[in-house]
Structure 1
Amino acid sequence: MKKYTFTEKIDTRSGFGAGLAELGRTNENVVALCADLIGSLKMNTFIEENPDRFFQIGIAEANMMGIAAGLTIGGKIPFTGTFANFSTARVYDQIRQSIAYSGKNVKICASHAGLTLGEDGATHQTLEDIGMMKMLPGMVVINPCDYNQTKAATIAIAEHEGPVYLRFGRPAVPVFMPEDEKFEIGKAIQLTEGSDVTIVATGHLVWEALQASEQLEAMGISAEVINIHTIKPLDEEAILKSVAKTNCIVTAEEHNILGGLGESVARTLSLKNPVPQEYVAVNDSFGESGTPAQLMEKYDLNDKAVIAAVKRVLDRK
């Protein structure tokens, strides 16, 4: 089995900042808007290099979405930046009416997603955003796993015509994806090959799934790990091809068990190849204050939880 290692940990929001800076140098139509969180979104380099293409909106997220929608009419490609909770729940009406309904070319870039926002607690954490955004017709939903993939995704979505929700995080996490790997919207990446169980993971849970697969191998269990960076459109072909071999699946995500990746996978399987499925996700609750590591442990979002889910699904196989 292929082994994945890392030499450093970097937060995925820095990958967004690096990707946005590169777009600033290569695509003159890219503009950026922020709701008073420049440092948190790592937008500084873009602003320093392109001060006339940046708009500080202040703590007025709904207004930011309306302005972004308007900028597309003049051919601009606006990237909005704030926390994931404020990028979705606070402005859902504006996104639905002004962006999604008319297919505006806005890139909604959301940092500090999931439980790993950490000490700021439940009011700032969001575990419902993937579900909210994937239900909007025409909205692409992307949740990359590390710095390199977030940077590549940021660059790639500028070429996509239509609204995109790009979700990333606050904590430093292992950098393990190749720096030069092309990012293809809607195309899953198979990381390991296996025959006993399929594990599909997204975001921070991809690394945990890889760690779990190594431990499972030592137990004599062959796990196929797939990185689902695009939740909508979902790469159904990759999932169905894998479960045709393994006949069971585990989904892993830093999101509510309701409405996220797991439910999208379940729908695909129920229609095309019903097999046993187990979930690693937050079990329909809000978060709380704590360090990212403490919260991932308490809410069962780690390699141990993936291994336990694999054992459960194999018992049902």
Structure 2
Amino acid sequence: MRTEFIEELTRLAERDDRICLVVGDLGFGVVVDFAKRFPDRFLNVGIAEQAMTGLAAGWALSGKVVFTYSIANFPTLRCLEQIRNDACYHGANVKIVAVGGGFAYGALGATHHATEDLAVLRAMPGMRVVAPGDTVEARLATRAVADLPGPCYLRIGRAGEPTVHDAEPEFRIGRAITVREGTDVAILSTGGMLKTAVDAAELLGADGISARVVSMHTLHPIDEGAILRASAETGAVLTLEEHSIVGGLGGAVAEVLAESASGVPFRRLGTPPRFAPRVGSQEFMLRQSGLTPPAVAEAARGLLLRHAALGPLMTVPEG
């Protein structure tokens, strides 16, 4: 996804001289073309993410559209105060780009595991939170984020993520994309888990279970309509994310379902809210968290079986 991001950003910068890029002493294999072509709009601030964010906010308030770029936790958690007070408080055109969400840098341990970022950034006033599901969405999300006024968070994969969409779908911030229709269960996915959701739906289909797959590429503002349609038109709802089950997509969907009193069977699939006791490759970390197509399919089956065993929800008679 990072390749699609930087290529699209470079194309946008050709047409819009407001677009700038600030990095925290990394990504040179990716950003070198942008830096050569637009030297007056590129800065490497070194390993100083707090300064990077404050500088980006000041640059943005002078009329620029400024993208900051770093690994996972570093442009988010390390400089959260600057994001809150400099970017969000002033509504600055700062676009925070985190490469390697979730366990993309799995072998480097908890300092490089981005499993709380969506929850934290979703709570920032005025912040839009976007996590595209594949390479196509990453390109479209970059374009949409650049056009949107105010602060945004764009969470992308490190590299090598599979392409799910055969053609460009309609992409709007705050509007989910239905990738696959289904009536028995809905899998709402965000970020790089989209291919896992599609593969799980294929496994369920082999068992005669019709699974809807929805790419929830925007966590804030969340697409309440897509959530409520899934709850009304299918028999159960699961959320799927490479992020803690606390406060990310699962938390956002739970809030909508609870306030709507839909009563649909619901389960959050993500990482447990603790530091990983073992580290390894991204694939290893996902297996440890039960975030594989067979595990997701089994969770969906279990949710449907539990609902069938419990029967319909009890209703309270009027009067």
Q: TM-score normalised to the size of structure 2?
A: 0.92
Can you list the C-alpha shifts for 1:218-269, whole angstroms capped at 9, x where unaligned? 1010001101000111111011112211131010000001111001000000
- Give me the whole-angstrom Cα distance separating, in 2, the residues matched to 1:206 and 1:292: 15
Q: Is the 8 A contact 2:115 2:243 kept in 1?
A: yes
Matches within 5 A, 1:133-282: 133-178=121-166, 180-272=168-260, 273-282=262-271
Aligned to 1:36: 25
Asked if 1:292 corresponds to 2:274, the answer is no
Q: Which runs of 5+ in 1 are unaligned?
A: 1-11
Aligned to 1:9: none
Q: Is the 8 A contact 2:190 2:215 kept in 1?
A: yes
Q: Greater CA radius of gyration, 1 or 2?
A: 2
Asked if 1:316 corresponds to 2:306, the answer is yes
Asked if 1:302 corresponds to 2:287, the answer is no
Which moves more between the two structures, 285-294 or 63-72?
285-294
Q: Is the 8 A contact 2:235 2:304 kept in 1?
A: no
Q: For residue 190 of structure 1, what is the amino acid of its counterpart?
A: T
Q: For residue 173 of structure 1, what is the amino acid of its counterpart?
A: E
Asked if 1:20 corresponds to 2:9, the answer is yes
Which moves more between the two structures, 278-287 or 199-208?
278-287
Can you list the C-alpha shifts for 1:266-309, whole angstroms capped at 9, x where unaligned? 00001112311112100112234311111111111111221122
Which moves more between the two structures, 179-188 or 49-58?
179-188
Aligned to 1:53: 41
Q: TM-score normalised to the size of structure 1?
A: 0.93
Aligned to 1:89: 77
Q: For residue 99 of structure 1, what is the amino acid of its counterpart?
A: A
Q: CA deviation at 1:183?
A: 2.4
- Give me the whole-angstrom Cα distance separating, in 1, the residues matched to 2:159 and 2:269: 20
Can you list the C-alpha shifts for 1:162-206, whole angstroms capped at 9, x where unaligned? 100000122412112245334210110001111101110011111
Moved over 6 A (4+): none
Q: Is the 8 A contact 1:24 1:49 kept in 2?
A: no
Find the residue that maps to 1:295 and give its secondary structure: helix
- Give me the whole-angstrom Cα distance separating, in 2, the residues matched to 1:102 and 1:172: 36
Paired residues, what number?
305
Which moves more between the two structures, 170-179 or 239-248?
170-179
Q: For residue 248 of structure 2, what is the amino acid of its counterpart?
A: G
- Give me the whole-angstrom Cα distance separating, in 1, the residues matched to 2:179 and 2:213: 5
Asked if 1:79 corresponds to 2:67, the answer is yes
- Give me the whole-angstrom Cα distance separating, in 1, the residues matched to 2:166 and 2:149: 26
Q: Is the 8 A contact 1:117 1:169 kept in 2?
A: no
Q: CA RMSD in A?
A: 1.3
Q: Is the 8 A contact 1:188 1:230 kept in 2?
A: yes
State which of 100, 120, 127 in structure 1 corresponds to 2:88. Answer: 100
Q: Is the 8 A contact 1:113 1:125 kept in 2?
A: yes
Q: CA deviation at 1:14?
A: 1.2
Q: For residue 295 of structure 1, what is the amino acid of its counterpart?
A: M
Using CA pairs under 8 Å that are at least 6 residues apart, name the structure with larger relative contact order, 1 or 2.
1
Q: Which runs of 5+ in 2 are unaligned?
A: 308-319
Aligned to 1:66: 54
Q: Percent identity?
A: 39
Aligned to 2:103: 115
- Give me the whole-angstrom Cα distance separating, in 2, the residues matched to 1:117 and 1:274: 38
Q: CA deviation at 1:145?
A: 1.4
